[in-house]
Amino acid sequence: MLGLTKKLALPIAAALLALTASAASAATLDAVKQRGSLSCGVSQGLAAFSDHDAGGKWSGFDVDFCRAVAAAIFDNPTKVTFTPLNASERFEALRSGKVDLLSRNSTWTFDREASLGVIFAAITYHDGQGFMVLRKPEITSALELDKASICVQKGTTSELNLSDYFRANSMTYTPHAFDTLAEVEKALEGGDCGVFTADQSALYAERLNLSKPNAAVILPDVISKEPLGPAVRGDDVAWFNIVKWVAFALVDAEELGINSRDIDNALVLISARN
């Protein structure tokens, strides 16, 4: 995960727009400006990535990326609305225009870009699929999961990877697929399945939501490579470039050790030159 704080991320993005806005002309950008806010698709609740408290305040890595893009457009990180989406509906919501940007722990794959009409702007988090099991019976490896009942979320790469992994290792399993993580948690704690498979980041986040987190263990096996990142519609290259370069600017700032005071000074110089 990028280590940049929100305070640093937002002025970086604003500086980026100040340098490039005059050349930017995109249907999505025009729509966002006319609306007065960025519409960002996020998860329905995943700790550290996109989650909200009882008061409806959103926080997390994916949420802060949306705020960085909003800051780049409006010089104001608060001009963004968050739309919670489950895994099955997220890409259709993006394609239909319900959201301008999808920043929702989504894996960048060839098939998604080739068939869904979306493109990924950057890789912001490298993940991998794993397994979380209840401690009874004691299991130490995914290769011990033959004939297990396994919960998985619909519309994810985890479904396909699960099938491939068990077939490659000559094992069988009983799948229980659900639309939401809340349904997965209920099934797991209700005994419908004794195993949950997802990206490891999701496993660690969801274990915190169990009534007895210590009753579950995440196995060391990682069965896939999951490059996660923000996605946009594939028919607006100018908008894609804005989102892409916001991500690149955040990475560069972290590598260079640039802090918020440096960015504030840069903005003053840019404004003076303009």
Domain ranges of the chain: 6-125+227-273, 129-224
Task: Confirm whether 6-125+227-273 and 129-224 share one CATH topology.
Answer: yes
161 CB neighbour count, 10 Å cutoff: 21
Mean pLDDT of 160-187: 96
Model confidence, pTM: 0.84
Give the Cα-Cα-Cα angle 90, 153, 225 (nearest 5 degrees).
85
Q: Which residues lie across from 177 on neighbouring strands? A: 152
249 CB neighbour count, 10 Å cutoff: 23
Mean pLDDT of 73-91: 95
- What pLDDT score does 2 carry? 43
103 pLDDT above the threshold of 50: yes
5 pLDDT above the threshold of 80: no
Is the pLDDT higher at 141 or at 21? 141
111 pLDDT above the threshold of 80: yes
Alpha carbons 120 and 108: distance in angstroms, whole number: 6
Architecture of the domain whose range is 6-125+227-273: 3-Layer(aba) Sandwich (3.40)
Alpha carbons 227 and 166: distance in angstroms, whole number: 22
The CATH class, in words, for 129-224 is alpha beta
29 pLDDT above the threshold of 70: yes
